[in-house]
Every structure is written in structure tokens, then in C-alpha cells.
Amino acid sequence: MTDAPWWRGAVIYQIYPRSFLDTDGDGVGDLPGIVEKLDYVASLGVDAIWIAPFFRSPMADFGYDIADYRAVDPLFGTLADFDSLLAKAHKLGLKVMIDQVLSHTSDQHAWFQESRGSRDNPKADWYVWADARDDGTPPNNWLSLFGGVAWQWEPRRGQYYLHNFLTSQPDLNFHNADVQRAVLDNVKFWLDKGVDGLRLDAINFCFHDARLRDNPPKPKDKRTGRGFSPDNPYAFQYHYFNNTQPENLPFLEALRQLMDNYSGAVALGEISSEDSLATTAEYTSGKRLHMGYSFELLTDDFSAAYIRRTVEELEAQMQEGWPCWAISNHDVERVLSRWGNGDKSARLAGLLTAMVCSLRGRCTFRSLARPIRHRLLAELQRSRRLPYTSALG
């Protein structure tokens, strides 16, 4: 027996509802489909499931554009379906984590519909609004992660609003204390239902530089390695001012204070900054996030040298939190496609063994040893994508 929290060394299995299992014949997976397969998921030996967004949404960003944080989108089912999912998962010994997208909403959210209407309504300052420059252009040079200018003109207010992602995903103004309270109240709704944790999407994007300073240019030789395609100008800047602001730290502490009221509830942050490993260490220090992950292993480079260097660099900086090493999620090709094609399969088997056996004791890959690693490699071997190797031993 150990007194360590459940999430230290846990294996977290992501479920993307829309592509998991369709039970009503509309061609889209749903919450009842997850319920139907929970026995199988539990048989894999995982400790927790992380469910990607299933909230009411126009689905411009496949659910990461939320129109109602407390409602299940009819595409996926009902709140009663989620309650059934939660109850069955807990009966099987599975923890349940859900996505929370706090930095922005859908433009269909009631908050934004009110905010965009005028400059003097009760929600007028709930989003990031700014006047145009004298020549009518946006207030600064910030760019969207999805390409193009990060500002959209709103004629009803005669101002621009900020969107770090899609145009239809306006950024909330976390400098407004009312916004922070409303966001935390939405989080509390799900904690009260009994969820065991939150996966916090783009958590370092909550705050922007209040002075709206321009981001500096990035030299050409520094624009690679962040996962951006050559045709995306987002890589042309150092993103010092549109995310990862110091004001985010007190907000994370307020979030942690809320979560500490719920026994065993954890927060896992997705972090993508100019120095994601340093930010991950900072965001998991003190009473902030329990766990953090960046995009460093969501790459095409799966050499043991690269992985070891990345892990050691983070562990040298992270003193209190727990690293959650994601090797696959909804943002990238699945790991067997990226790391396991053709002759790479045997190398993948060896790499999994190295992850389990060679990295320092805190690394969560150790949990792959029994039975997940065996099952993964056995499936590969059965499908003739991988010769049987001693990695199964």
C-alpha cells in the first residue's frame, strides 16, 4: 500500500467522444457509447479517463468552442448520460477527468452575445475589447494560433475583440474579477457532480498583457520545432504578451484552493509557451496545478536521446508538481502513426521499454509496464505491424 495520491504515476486514457462509439446511429460518438465500453477501458489497466469536450457547442472547433459550460450538447447525450458514465466509471475503479476550456468561449455563448451588443452592458468588459489604431487597423500585431490576425472587428461596438484561436472563439477578459468568479463557479458545478479532475485546455492563455504591447519578431532560424506548419505566421513571433502573463499565477492558486475542497480532485494543465518546460515547472509549483504537460513529446522525434533530454530538462526545473508525459492526443497524429510506421515499429517497442525501465522513478511511463505495454505490443504483433520482441518480457 502507498499513501501517494492516485494521480502520481497514473495512466490517463483520453476518450474523444465523437470518434469513440456511436450508439444512436447519427454517425457521431456519444456519452452512452463511452458507458458501453467502460468495462473494456478498465480492463486495459488505466487509472483514469480524460473525456474531451462534450458541452453545448456550435462545433466550429469540435467542442473546444463552448456555448454553455454546464450543458451536454445533444450530439453527445444528456446530463443524465454523464451521471451514468460517472457512476459506472467509479464502480469500475476509474477516475474521471473532463476538459475545461477556460480562456475563451464560443461566440454563441450568452456572455459574448451580451458583451458584443454595446460598450455599457453588464458583460461589456467580460471579453478582450480594444479600439482600432488611428488608421483602423487592429490594436497590435498579435496573431492567432490558427493563422492570421488575432483580432476581429465588431461593428456593433466599433471595436476589435481578441481571439487567440478561431475568430468564433473570443477570449475572456480575466483581468475582470467577475469573469474569474464566473469561470470558477462553472468549474465548481462539475466538481460538485463528482468529477475527479480537470484537464485544462490552453491554461496559460487566460491572461493577456493589459497594455497590449506588440510581440517581438522571431528570427527565421528559431521558427521551427514548435509544431507549426511553414505556412502559419504564428511562428514568426515571440509570444511574450498574448499569453503566459504573471497574473495567471494567482488565478491558478485560486483554482487550486477551490479544488482542494474536493478530496482527490486534480488539475492537469496543457501548456504551450515560448519555454513550455519552464512554464510547466512554474505552473505546478506551490499550490497551483497538480500536473502539467507540454507538446514536447507530441512530435515526430521519438529517439531515446530526445525523450531523455526532454524529460531530464523538465525534472531539473520541476520541484513539486508531477509531469504528465503525453505522447498522443487530439492535436496530433496518433502515436502509432507518428512513431510506429513501417520499420519504426520495432524501434517503438524498444522505446516503450526504455520509457518504462530507464527514466527516473517519477516518470509516469513506469505505469505502462503492467498490463498496458504488454497489450499494446501484443496488438501490434497480432496485426503484423511488429515482430515479437523481448520487449514483452
Tell me the three cell numbers of residue 33.
Answer: 457509447
Three cell numbers at 165? 484561436
Q: Kindly state whether residue 123 falls inside one of the protein's structural domains.
A: no
Q: What pLDDT does residue 353 have? A: 40
Structure confidence at residue 385 as a pLDDT band (50, 70, 90): very low
Tell me the pLDDT band of 373, cut-offs 50, 70 and 90.
Answer: very low
Higher-confidence residue: 321 or 81?
81
Residue 53 lies in a domain: yes
Name the residue range of residue 279's domain. Answer: 12-106+176-333
Residue 307 lies in a domain: yes
Number of domains into which the chain is organized: 1
| 47 vs 95: CA distance, rounded Å | 6
Q: Is the pLDDT of residue 354 over 50?
A: no
Residue 244 lies in a domain: yes
Distance CA(123)–CA(110), nearest Å, equals 10
Residue 274: give its domain's CATH number. 3.20.20.80
Helices 79-91 and 31-43 meet at what angle, rounded to 10?
10
Domain membership flag for residue 375: no
Least confident of 48-57, 266-275, 371-380: 371-380
- Residue 380's pLDDT band (cuts 50, 70, 90): very low
Q: pLDDT at position 223, please?
A: 84
Cβ of 114: how many Cβ atoms within 10 Å?
Answer: 15
- Flag the least confident range among 126-140, 188-202, 274-288, 317-331: 317-331
Lowest model confidence (mean pLDDT) among 92-106, 124-138, 340-354: 340-354
What is the pTM for the complete model shown? 0.87
Q: Which of 104-113, 258-267, 294-303 is the least confident region?
A: 294-303
Backbone angles phi, psi at 159, to 5 degrees: -145, 165
Catalytic residues: 201, 270
At 88, is the pLDDT very low, low, confident or very high (cuts 50, 70, 90)? very high
Is residue 49's pLDDT more than 50? yes
> Strands 159-162 and 68-72, how do they pair?
unpaired
In a domain, 387, yes or no: no
Q: Give the rounded percent of residues in the chain with a pLDDT score beyond 70.
A: 84
* 378 falls within a domain: no
Identify the CA nearest to 161 among candidates 173, 174, 148: 173
CA angle 59–60–66, rounded 5-degree value: 60
- Does residue 379 belong to any structural domain of this protein? no
